[in-house]
Structure 1
C-alpha cells in the first residue's frame, strides 16, 4: 500500500540542472601603470600588478612571460608573441588584434571581456576558471587545448577550432557558435543549452558529454540522421 504523504512531506528544493561551472573571481589590487617607453615586452618577462592601458603591443615578443594581477585594457595585440605565457588573476578588457600567438599558454582565473580577435592561437593551451564575456572572436584555434571551468558568455565565435581539445565543465551561455570544429573533442559536463546559434561544421559525433536543449535537438536532427546514414524523406 502506497501512502499519500503530500500533506506532511517537506517541499523539495529545486536543483539547478546541468553542470556547475566555477567562474573566476578576479579582485585586482591597486595597479601600477605600465610604461610603454621601457622597451616593450620581453621573452620570459615578469609582470606583476601592472595596468596596460591603451598600449599597442603589436608584434612584440613576450613568449614565456608571466602576468600576475594584471589588467590589459584596450590594448592592440596584432601578431603579439605570447606563446607559453602565463596569465594568473588577470583581466583582458577590450583587447583587439589578429594573429595573437598564445599557443601553449596557461590562463587561470582570467576574465576576457569584449575582445575583438581574429586568428588567435591557443592550441595546446590550458584554461582553468576563465570567463569570455562579450566581443567577437573569429578563427579561434583551441586545438588540443584543455579547458576546465570555462564560460563563454554573450560572445560571437566564428569558425572556432576545438579539434582534439578536452572540455570539462564548460558553458556556452547566450553565444553564437558558428561553424565550430569539434573533431576529436572529449567533453565532460559541457552546457550548450542557451547557445543562440549552434552550427557545427565537423565533429557532430563528439557531442557525448554535452547537454543540449530539445529545440537544439530538433534543429540538429537532420545532421544526426545523416551522420548515421539515415535518409529522411516525406511521403509523396
Structure 2
C-alpha cells in the first residue's frame, strides 16, 4: 500500500483544476416549476424558496443557473444534471440524487443532513463553507473536486474513483475509502478523526502530523498495542 506522507506541498499530488461557473442573465421561474417536474431548467434563478419537498424527475437538467436560499425537508433528483451552476445557502435534510452528474458547479454556505449521491459523476465541483452530515459517494467518479472549509460527519467513498480531490480546511469525522481507486487525492489540509479502511487510502497524500494524529486509531484497527 502506498500512502504519501509529506511536509512539502511541492512533493504532493496535482491540485484540482477548477473553472468557476459564470452566470449570465437569469430568469426567475415559478415556485411550482422549481418544486416539481422534469422540464430542463437553463439560465434560471430559484431564490428564497421554502417547501416540504422538491421532486425532480426525468433526469432533469439544471444548467447555467442559480439556486439560492432554498430550504426543504427533502430533495429528490435521481439522474439529474447540474452544469455550470451555483448553489448557495441550500438547507435540506435529505438529498437523494443517485446517478446524477455535476459539472463545473459551486456549492456555497449550505447545510445538507444526508446526501445520497452514489454512482454520480463529478467534474470541476467546489463545496465551500458547507456543513454535510452523511455524504454517500459510493461508486462515484470524481475529478477536480474541492471541499474547502467544510464540515463532513461521514464521507463514504467506498468503491469510488477519485482524481485531483482536495480538502483544504475541512473536518471529516469519518472517512471510508474501502475499495476505492484514488489518484492525486490530497488529504493534507483536512482534519481527520477516523478512517474506516486503511487499504482504501492507497494513492492519497497525508501529512506527517495527520499520520501521528491517526496513529492510535490505525494501531487499534491493525491490532497493534501501543505502550
Equivalences for residues 179-198 of structure 1 within 5 A: 179-195=174-190, 197-198=191-192
| From 69, 74, 86, the counterpart of 2:64 | 69
Aligned to 1:150: 145
Higher relative contact order structure (alpha carbons within 8 Å, sequence separation ≥ 6)? 2
| From 205, 219, 227, the counterpart of 1:225 | 219
- Report how many aligned residue pairs link the two structures: 218
Aligned to 2:134: 139
More strand by share: 2
**Alignment of 1:160 onto 2:155:** yes
For 1:60 and 1:115, the matched residues in 2 are separated by 16
TM-score by length of 2: 0.89
CA contact (8 A) 2:194 2:217 kept: no
Deviation of 1:183 (Å):
2.0
Query: Secondary structure of 1:139's match?
Result: strand
For 1:15 and 1:220, the matched residues in 2 are separated by 23
Query: Secondary structure of 1:80's match?
Result: strand
**Alignment of 1:214 onto 2:214:** no
The 1:118–1:38 alpha-carbon spacing in structure 2 relative to 1, beyond 3 Å, is closer
TM-score by length of 1: 0.86
For 2:75 and 2:13, the matched residues in 1 are separated by 37
Deviation of 1:185 (Å):
2.0
Aligned to 1:3: none
Please report the RMSD computed on the Cα atoms of aligned residues, expressed in angstroms: 1.9
Encode CA deviations 1:48-75: one digit per residue, 9 max, x unaligned: 1000001235423212100110100011
Which has more radius of gyration?
Answer: 1
For 2:35 and 2:13, the matched residues in 1 are separated by 44
For 1:189 and 1:161, the matched residues in 2 are separated by 18
Encode CA deviations 1:185-222: one digit per residue, 9 max, x unaligned: 22111001111x20224112211111111101111223
CA contact (8 A) 2:95 2:114 kept: yes
